[in-house]
Structure 1
């Protein structure tokens, strides 16, 4: 739903964004050195760059703005038809979204930070660096310290969101959220714009992984995708935990 307001090829970058967990590995016995605490890690997923989908950089109006650590992830859908071919159609669809956001909405660039297709491929959205806190134009009043992830398609109630798409969205959220932020938790945000669901200056509590409708008067990301948000929160937390588990010990018999 429209808000009113490849880098070369596919890239896979190093592990990033560590998150401290309060529980130690085990309880030390008297006289033992206290062990280090578990640190949860989420790897950066493979991301198709703007160069690879041929974003029109000449139409981008301003340089990217950086806002600091991500506090909240907003989930969207783009309102496109769902029967597209992932390899053949998606680059052109992304260019059309970019053009609509710039020429139709008057924004500096594509509003979303990331777009995910139904096959689970992740695309770089707004320019500025996928590993940087780029301010998007995806959720009026709450674009600062947030990341916008758009599911390419239309996911109203009664439709099924592809599992590969959900897995990719969870992977981005698990990676982009910084230390100390639980994907299953809540965050207090202050609206920066009267055009949002809340008047400017209003402090509101939201889920760390929220839907567009939580911050703006819209049905985005659609009833089906919105209903999958609890699963996305759990899955993002699980990805962080699983990625840092030590390998099993193999004893020789």
Structure 2
């Protein structure tokens, strides 16, 4: 829960004695509210300015002793402490209703931004659970319109409340293997892992897409490389043996050996490749 204390958002001191009135009994539950006026979303670093604006309207415009809500939730999911868990709110309509339930405001309006963001719904859910666990509050959940003649908290929030205020579903990650055939997966794995030695290649414990054929191709490549090397060495030995005893100079011997190695590498490379493709 991203809780912003009163001191952190710059709350004014509440007026005494009414601003310090405690709840006299356990709260039944939580009521959700909206602003009831036009609202435009804003950068998070200005949300505390707006919360101070709400407090000023309630104290200076309405003549209340403090901001009326227990908590305020911005569109970024931060929960601002209003009157908090222990001081009676003044937002639910009358003293009996205020005494009965906590009041949690979501910063959305009756026009402009009217639908809460996913982050805001998560923040509101955090506030509800916080009230239940720490208040304490019962499990009842509703909107301002429950028990009081108002359109608050607006249809989008009220529908969410009536659905039980669920947390938004996390976006589903796209399956990278969706639509791929077994051959596609094999080809992709082989392209990535073809250089691995057989004794170090990943197995199903570390790569569930690794196929047994990958080992065979890996081994085949190793055999091909060794065959080319052995053939080249053999050609070099034969060329050297033929030239050394014939009295030819050193440069001629070296040239003959290099040509024999090159011819052997090309021949074996072609033979092995053709065998793999057949």
TM-score range, shorter chain: 0.5 to 0.7
- Tell me the distance in 1 between the aligned counterparts of 2:143 and 2:30: 8
Cα 1:53–1:212 change in 2 (3 A) is same
TM-score normalised by structure 2 residue count: 0.52
CA distance in 1: counterparts of 2:122 and 2:152, whole angstroms: 19
Q: Quickly say closer, same or farther: Cα 1:157–1:70, change in 2 above 3 A.
A: farther
Which secondary structure state, in structure 2, belongs to the residue aligned with residue 88 of structure 1? helix
Q: CA deviation at 1:182?
A: 6.1
Which has a greater percent of helix? 2
Measure, in 2, the Cα distance between the counterparts of 1:231 and 1:211.
12
Distance 1:157-1:64 versus aligned 2 partners, 3 A rule: same
CA separation of 1:209 and 1:88: change in aligned 2, threshold 3 A: same
Shift of 1:155: 5.1
1:8 corresponding residue in structure 2:
none
Does residue 135 in structure 1 map to residue 92 in structure 2?
Answer: no
1:70 aligns with 2:27: yes
Q: What SS does the corresponding residue of 1:164 show, helix, strand or coil?
A: helix
Corresponding position: 1:210 with 2:142: yes
Q: CA 1:155/1:231 → structure 2, altered by over 3 Å: closer, same or farther?
A: farther
Corresponding residue number in structure 1 for 2:132? 177
Call closer, same or farther: CA 1:93–1:49 in 2, change over 3 Å: same
**Among residues 159, 163, 168, which one is paired with 2:123 in the alignment?**
168
In the other structure, the counterpart of 1:95 is 52
Normalized per residue, the structure richer in strand is 1
* Aligned partners of 2:41 and 2:113 also within 8 Å: no
Aligned residues: 163
Task: Tell me which residue corresponds to 1:225.
Answer: 157
Partner of 2:106: 151
- After TM superposition, give the deviation of residue 55 of structure 1 in Å: 1.1
Residue 83 of structure 1 and its aligned partner are, at CA, apart by: 3.0
TM-score w.r.t. the length of structure 1 is 0.57
Q: Deviations over 1:190-232 (max 9, x none)?
A: xxxxxxxxxxxxxxxxxx1111011211111111111111334
Gaps of 5+ in 2: 168-278
Unpaired runs of 5+ residues, structure 1, are: 1-44, 184-207, 236-253
Q: What's the offset of the Cα at 1:178?
A: 5.4
Give the greater-gyration-radius structure (CA): 2
CA contact (8 A) 1:71 1:177 kept: no
2:9 alignment partner in structure 1: 53
